Amino acid sequence: MSGVDGGAIDGSWYLDLLSFARETPWLHGFFQIFTNAGLVLYVLAVAAAWWRARGDAGRTAAVLWVPIAVVLAYGVSNLVKIVVEEPRPCIRYPAVPTVSSCDFATDYSFPSNHVTIAVAAAVALLPADRRLGVTGLAVAAVIGFSRVYLGAHYVHDVLAGAVLGALVALCGLLVRAPLTALVTRSRVFSPDFHLHQGE
């Protein structure tokens, strides 16, 4: 086994959560579905934020940043995986049963892509629609828990993914002005576009 030994960091927490998972079989189906389906909620949230932001160049620019932040965060997360090469905990503890099947050996564990994407989307949504952003953070927390519950990640993988996603999303503050200017110059997104359409 090569790469960082995640079990030496917080393997006991991982094992404790797997023990809890074995004692709560009625939750297996929910977490197996929500761990991926939860990400779809961000697509719906972005669509809702886009609709609510119409006519407001600043908020529209913030919404435009969300998918950009998600793509960038996902890319950086994968680069970190390649550098760190932390094996999945299910490989580190092969004798311990997990709710989900173990991913292949080269699909490294650190950080959690799911959580990185979820937190990047949620934090990027905050300037556009605070309510949707806060809801997105709550969804990200459930997704993060599910990743450990299912046996796919250590706790530190989830925490690192959250930090990485948040940092990438906050870079939106650096591009907010040019994005807003771009939106303002574009007739499609200009505040009076709908008025022109009705003339």
Name the packing angle between helices 7-23 and 130-149 (round to 10°). Answer: 90
pLDDT at 193: 45
pLDDT at 96: 92
Domain 7-186: which CATH number of 2.60.40, 1.10.1240, 3.30.420, 1.20.144? 1.20.144
pLDDT at 185: 76
- CA triplet 46, 63, 123: central angle to 5 degrees? 80
Residues 6+ away with beta carbon under 8 Å from 141: none
pLDDT at 55: 78
Q: Where are the domains of the chain?
A: 7-186
pLDDT at 187: 56
Digitized pLDDT (tens) for each residue of the chain, 199 residues in all: 467 888 888 999 999 999 999 999 999 999 999 999 999 999 999 999 989 888 788 888 888 899 999 999 999 999 999 999 999 999 999 999 999 988 776 789 999 999 999 999 999 999 989 999 999 999 999 999 999 999 999 999 999 999 999 999 999 888 877 777 777 777 554 444 443 444 3
